[in-house]
Amino acid sequence: MTKSADHPQETLRLDGFLPYRLSVLSNAVSRKIADMYEREFDISIWQWRIIAVLGESDGLTSTEVANRTLMDKPAVSRAAASLTERNIISRKSDDADRRKAELRLTDKGREIYAAIKPRALAYERELLASLSPEESRMLHGLLTRLSHIASPDRNLWSETGE
Amino acid sequence: MTKSADHPQETLRLDGFLPYRLSVLSNAVSRKIADMYEREFDISIWQWRIIAVLGESDGLTSTEVANRTLMDKPAVSRAAASLTERNIISRKSDDADRRKAELRLTDKGREIYAAIKPRALAYERELLASLSPEESRMLHGLLTRLSHIASPDRNLWSETGE
DNA sequence: TCATAATAGTTGCATTTGCAACTAAATCAA
DNA sequence: TTGATTTAGTTGCAAATGCAACTATTATGA
């Protein structure tokens, strides 16, 4: 077997280069959806992520939120502070361990979640509109495999079938 | 036909939500590859993009570079300034139109390009290692279609078959 | 029981980013 | 011509980001 550098002079066109393509696509998508959150609900992407995970499973601590959203702790801390101030989430500190605090959506928070959710899903559908269901599944499968390689540590992307 | 909101209560799990998945994957990939550029060559992502397009087609103006890399003009301006300072690219202002300047890789720039290129392609291969050639093609096709929808304006992502 | 280490969350700060406003040069229109 | 527009590129600045350092609290172990 030849050592390495088996790959002599492949071309490198930026717009065929996967990291570049992912970055451009992801930026375009994030921008667009962030504009919508911002314009219609005055909510940032980070705030939205927190609302989204709490909408699914209420009563998480900051650290748990950070793990699920892949945000770093300072980001969660600040976004949560602002949401608390706006009475969208509440924080109740744990009596047993006073370092911790449980975060929950308030009623207002639930309303906002209920309002954003269909808009978010609609945008996702729009994005996927030109893909068949099989292609869409394929896409998710491929993203999962790429994610395993890009961040092997993460336990996420587990095959969450149903 | 029912009006809209045909889609009653779909679930919204963040880690099955396409914009989120793209963002997380793209960040992980960008981070990793940016670290490599930085550590081994002291080059930022933006600088790399400029080097990459000039490596393919030398003698572009800032505006052309901006269009091809989807960077904004200030970003190109600053990254190019720093590359010029480090003698990685040269700028020769156009005699006919003195607003313009052609950017070219210097010899040193070419060396750097030649050094980074295989590393970049190797990382891309690593990322794609678990995908078959057909899957890889499929992935690119899907990304192309998503990109059309996410940024319909862009003329890029043209079917650059061969 | 007291010093050390670990954990939850916050604050501060330096860097990056994105965008608006600007300068310089060329074009267009009267 | 020359005044108004357009284009190329730069500068400045406000906001977002990422990370290190910090406080407060709990756990560990001699």
**Residue B14 gets which letter from DSSP?**
G
For residues A29-52, average pLDDT = 95
Is the per-residue pLDDT at B13 higher than 70?
yes
Closest CA relative to residue B36, chosen from A19, A13, A154, A11:
A19
- Burial level of B53, CB count in 10 A (0-12/13-18/19+)? buried
pLDDT-based confidence at residue B154 (cuts at 50, 70, 90): low
> What percent of chain B stands above pLDDT 90?
83
Q: Do B130 and A120 touch (CB under 8 A)?
A: no
Taking only the tens place, the pLDDT of each residue in A83-134 is 999 999 999 999 999 999 999 999 999 999 999 999 999 999 999 999 999 9
Q: Measured in whole angstroms, how far is the alpha carbon of residue B153 from the centre of its chain?
A: 17
pLDDT of residue B158: 47
Bridging pattern class, strands A89-93 and A60-61: unpaired
From the CA of B38, how many Å to the C1' of C17? 18
* Residue linked to tokens 């949401």: A83
Q: Which residues numbered 9-68 in chain A sit less than 7 A from strand D, measured from CB?
A: 44-46
pLDDT value at position A9? 59
Q: State the DSSP H helix or E strand holding residue B138, giving kind and residue range, or none if neither.
A: helix B133-150
CB atoms within 10 A of CB B8: 6
d(CA B93, CA A54) in angstroms, rounded, equals 56
Q: How far is the CA of A162 from the C1' of C16 (A)?
A: 40
Contact B127 A146 (CB under 8 A): yes
Higher per-residue pLDDT: A157 or B131: B131
Nucleotides of D under 7 A from a protein CB: 7-12, 16-21, 24-27
Mean pLDDT of A61-89: 96
* Mean pLDDT value across chain B: 89
pLDDT (mean) for A133-146: 96
Query: By the 8 A CB rule, do A75 and A46 touch?
Result: yes
Round to whole Å and give the CA distance between B117 and B113. 6
B118/A19 CB distance under 8 A? no
Residues of B in contact with A140 (CB under 8 A): 16, 18, 21
Residue type, A93: S
| Distance, Å, A80 CA → D21 C1' | 21
The C-alpha angle A22, A27, A28, rounded to 5 degrees, equals 105
Residue B25 pLDDT > 90: yes
Backbone angles phi, psi at B94, to 5 degrees: -70, 130
pLDDT of residue B4: 47
Average pLDDT, chain A: 89
**Closest of A34, A59, A3, A127 to residue B151, by C-alpha:** A127
Question: Has residue A152 got a pLDDT over 70?
Answer: yes
Please name each of the domains of chain B with its CATH number: 24-150 (1.10.10.10)
Nearest chain A CA: its distance from B137 CA (Å) = 11
Q: Which of B25, B138, B156 sits opposite A150 (nearest CB)?
A: B25
- Return the pLDDT at A154: 60
B151: confidence class by pLDDT, cuts 50, 70, 90: confident
Tell me which DSSP letter residue A108 carries.
H
Its pTM stands at 0.90
Q: Which residue has the higher pLDDT, A139 or A161?
A: A139
A61-70, B64-73, B148-157: least confidently modelled range: B148-157
Q: Which residue's C-alpha is at the least distance from the C1' of C24?
A: B99
pLDDT at B3: 47
What's the pLDDT score for residue B141?
97
| A95 vs B161 pLDDT, higher one | A95
Whether the pLDDT of residue B1 is over 80: the answer is no
Task: List all residues 6 or more positions away from B109 whose beta carbon is below 8 Å from its beta carbon.
Answer: B51, B54, B83, B87, B88, B89
In this structure, the strands spanning A101-105 and A60-61 are antiparallel
| Mean pLDDT confidence for B123-149 | 96
Q: Out of B20, B123, B142, name the one closest to residue A139 (CB).
A: B142
Rounded to whole angstroms, the Cα distance separating A149 from B7 reads 34
Residue A86: DSSP 8-state: T
What percent of chain A is modeled with pLDDT above 70?
Answer: 88
> Please, what sign has the CA dihedral across residues A148, A77, A92, B16?
negative
Any residues with CB less than 8 A from the CB of B122 and at least 6 apart, and which? A7
Q: What's the gap in Å between the CA of A124 and the closest CA on chain B?
A: 7
Report the half-sphere exposure of B102 (CA within 13 A, side-chain side): 11
Cα distance between residue B116 and residue A157, in whole Å: 31
